A = this chain, B = another copy of it.
Amino acid sequence: MTRTYLAVDLGGTNSRYGLVNQNGEVLRRGRFPIHSYRGPEPIIEDLIVHLRSFLDALSSGQRPRALVVGAAGLIRAEDGVLVAAPNLPGWKNIPLADILGQALSLEVRLENDANLYALGEWFAGAGRHLSHLIVVTLGTGVGGGLILNGRLWNGSFLSAGEIGHVIVEPEGRPCGCGGRGCLETVASATAITRTAREWIMAGQPCAFSGHPDDLTSRDLYGLARQGDALARRVFDRAGWALGLALTNVFNILGLQGAVIGGGVSAAYDFIRPSMFEEFSTRVFAVDPNRIRLAPAALGDDAPLAGVPVLFQKSGDPQAHGAT
């Protein structure tokens, strides 16, 4: 009988969940929309209803061993408390593991969603077989997870892997973190869209026919595919910034690879050339062709696929560095 796990990716607008086997394969999936303005209680109630009916539909042999919830924000993994979540207003110090554990009669663990994403791509995706890896997620913000010696690296203050806040332009745009010119201010979906709007408002030609305020990063991807020069330049610039940030990470850590995921990585083909150009001319003392740079392979399944890793070896949560 194969072991299974129930995994939930609790986003700001959607929650995806799935039943995962020991190999990180997602056997069944579900999702429901999250209206974050409603606050924690009704959303948690919704979540319980959805997960209960999902569990009820499983055969007895598929009953999961545990539930893992991934969320953005500050997680206290040891007792499963969601301390704060930037995309879920009003969620403060929610003992999510206890609440869900009692409602569903399951062992529940809470993890940072970027960490779960990284574990997934490492365990079953584009970073398979690499001992030392960074996984970058280019989404609304830019997140990251770091695998060292085949284990998640958390560092001392749960702030590790934050490649989104590696500085690429010391005097660049202000960043939500209080700094300036972080990778996130150039390469997130938000930043890419903002750059394009600014260039259009400044009179640069672009095939987008709507009002610049209505432009999305998805539109930009479509425009780049049609050969629009402005859209291409926007992704060039994101690639340049990503190449710089990766150079810093590799010069510090000597990793074997980087996986680029998140929504913006749909445009990987447009980001890759400038990213690789910048990285390969700058990376220190290593043949850049020996380093694996690849787009994420698992899509929305990534945060679910790595969940079995958390339970390897006598059920201890797998992570190191958090001392």
Residues of chain A whose beta carbon lies under 8 Å from any beta carbon of chain B: 74, 131-132, 144, 146, 148-149, 153-163, 165-170, 177-180, 244, 247-256, 281-282, 284-286, 290, 320-321, 323
Contact = CB atoms under 8 A, between A and B. Distances in A.
Given A154-B254, A162-B285, A168-B170, 15 more contacts: A155-B253, A157-B286, A158-B254, A159-B285, A160-B254, A161-B252, A165-B282, A166-B248, A167-B168, A170-B244, A177-B284, A177-B285, A248-B248, A252-B252, A254-B321
Given A162-B284, A178-B282, A284-B165, A255 B155 contact: yes
A157 B321 contact: no
A255 B251 CA distance: 16
A131 B244 CA distance: 28
A85 B181 CA distance: 36
Given A154-B254, A284-B159, A179 B247 contact: yes
Contact of A248 (B131, B167, B281): B167
Which of A149, A159, A254, A290 gathers most chain B CB within 10 Å?
A254
Contacts of A321: 131-132, 148-149, 254
A252 B254 contact: no
A157 B290 CA distance: 10
Contacts of A179: 247, 281-282, 284
A162 B247 CA distance: 11
A149 B320 contact: yes
A122 to B, nearest CB: 15
A167 B245 CA distance: 9
Contacts of A148: 148, 153, 321
B323 A253 contact: no
Contact of A167 (B159, B255, B282): B282
A163 B284 CA distance: 10
B255 A162 contact: no
Contacts of A161: 252
B167 A252 contact: no
A309 to B, nearest CB: 18
Contacts of A154: 254
A242 B254 CA distance: 20
Of A157, A158, A160, most B-chain CB atoms within 10 Å: A157
The 5 closest A-B pairs by CB, nearest first: A155-B254, A160-B254, A179-B282, A159-B285, A165-B284
A85 to B, nearest CB: 14
A156 B170 contact: no
Contacts of A157: 254, 285-286, 290
Given A148-B321, A170-B168, A320-B149, A131 B160 contact: no
A251 B159 contact: yes
Contacts of A249: 252
Contact of A159 (B74, B149, B244, B286): B286
A131 B156 contact: yes
A252 B146 contact: yes
A130 to B, nearest CB: 9
